[in-house]
Structure 1
C-alpha cells in the first residue's frame, strides 16, 4: 500500500492510496452493507481505467470504524476487471450511520459535464456525442441498456477532440429533423458519421436537397429519405424506430446518393434481425 498523504479530521482518516487489484479484492471482502452491483457502471469505470483516463478525485472508498466497506465497491470491482492499479482517496473510521446518505445526490449528467464549454443545446450535444461513440465502438449491438453506457469523461474528451464538428452536427441535426423522419439526435449523428469520412463530398448539395426536396429526380436518394414516414420513430407508434435504426436509414440514403450505381434498389427501412449497421461510403480528395 502506497500512502502519499495522510490527513485526519475528527475520528476518521483519509489517505491517497494506490489501490492494486489484490488490494481491491481484499477491500471487497469487507463489503457487508453495500448496494447491489451495477455491472454497467463497473464496465464504464473499467473502460475509463483501461483508456488511461482515470482521475484522482474526492470520490474514493470508505470504511466504517469496524473496517466494513461503506462506499466504493464499483470502483474496486473496476480495478479488478482492468487488472490495473489506480490512485484514490481511502477513508477509514466513518460511522456506520453515514451509509444511508452516501451517493444520494443527483448524478451528474453528460449535459452537466458539458456545461462549461459554453455550447448551446447541451442535451442534444451530449446525446449526439454518445451515439457517435456507440456507432464507432459497437455499431452492430443495441444502443440501449448497461452495455451502451458512455461515461461523462469520455463524452467530454470526444467533444474536446472535435468540438467544431460536433457543434456543426448539432446545428445541422436540429435543422434537418424539421424535414426528415429522424430525431434531432439521429440526424446529427448521421450527418457527423457520413461527413467524417467524406471531406470531398458536396455536403451543401446533400443538405439543400434534403431541406427543400425541390427538383429532385424520382430516384434521388434524398427524396426517398424525405419520404420515410415520420410516424415510425414517434412514441406510441406500433413499432417505434430507435436512434440506431434512424442512423442506419440516413447512412443507406447517403450511400445511395454518393454512389447510386453500386446501391441497387434502395430500401429505407429499419435494420432487420442480425443486419449489420451500414458504413458510410468514403469520398476523399484524389492525390
Structure 2
C-alpha cells in the first residue's frame, strides 16, 4: 500500500504566512510571555523554539526564566502582573514545574483571556460545552492538520491512546463535537483499557499520545487506517550527530506501507503545536482589543 505522509511543515508554513500577513498589514504586534521555572533541558529547547517563532512572525515576546527554587507565591505575583500588562496578550507557563509548585493552581492564575495554552479550567469547560474559548494547542494542531490534508472525520471511528489533559481528553472532546471538523465516534484508551489492540484495530483513525517509543505496532493498526503520532521521544543513537534520534509512539511497521496516511516524527504534530500557539496569541490580541 502506498502511504501518504501528512506533513506538519506544510500546514505550519500556511498558518505562519497568514499570521505574518496580518502583522504586516495591520501594524499590530501580538505579545506573548513565557514563564520558565528551572533548567529542564527539554523545556529550554521548547521555549527557545517559541521565541524563534515569535521573532519570525514579528510578535513581541518575553521569557521570564526563573530559578528552580522560585516560590509559588513569586510565580503567582508575576502572573498577576502579566495579566494586567497591556502589551502582553498571551501567557504560557512551561510545564513541567518543579515539584514544590502546584501546577494546577499556577495555570488557573493565568487570566482566561490570555490563556493561549488552553489549560485554564474555564477554557477547558468551554471546550466541553462546545462554546468559544482557547483550545489546547496540540489537539487544535491535530485538527488543523487533518483538515488541511483532507482527512474525513464525520462518522469515523477514532481511537485515542492516552488520556492526558494536554492531548487525549481535549482531543476527544474536539473530535466528538457536533461541528464541521468533528462528529467522529471516539474511544479514549488508557492504561486500564483491556485488549488495547482490539480497540485500536477497529478504528479508522488512531491517535498515539502516550510518550512511549514504538508502543503501538502493526498489530494495533488496521491496514489502511490513518495514524496520528503525537509522541516525540529521544532514543540513544551513537550514530546520530547529537547522540540520539527522535521517534514517535508508533513503530515504523505500522506506518509507511501499512497506514493509508500518517504523521511523521519529527516533522508532524510537534510543528503544529507552536503554530497553534502563535495563532491563539494573535486571536487573544484581537479579542482583547475588541473588548476595550
Same fold (TM over 0.5): no
Q: Which has the higher contact order (CA 8 A, sep 6+)?
A: 2
TM-score by length of 2: 0.26
Structure with the greater alpha carbon radius of gyration: 1
When the two structures are superposed, what TM-score results if normalisation uses the length of structure 1?
0.27
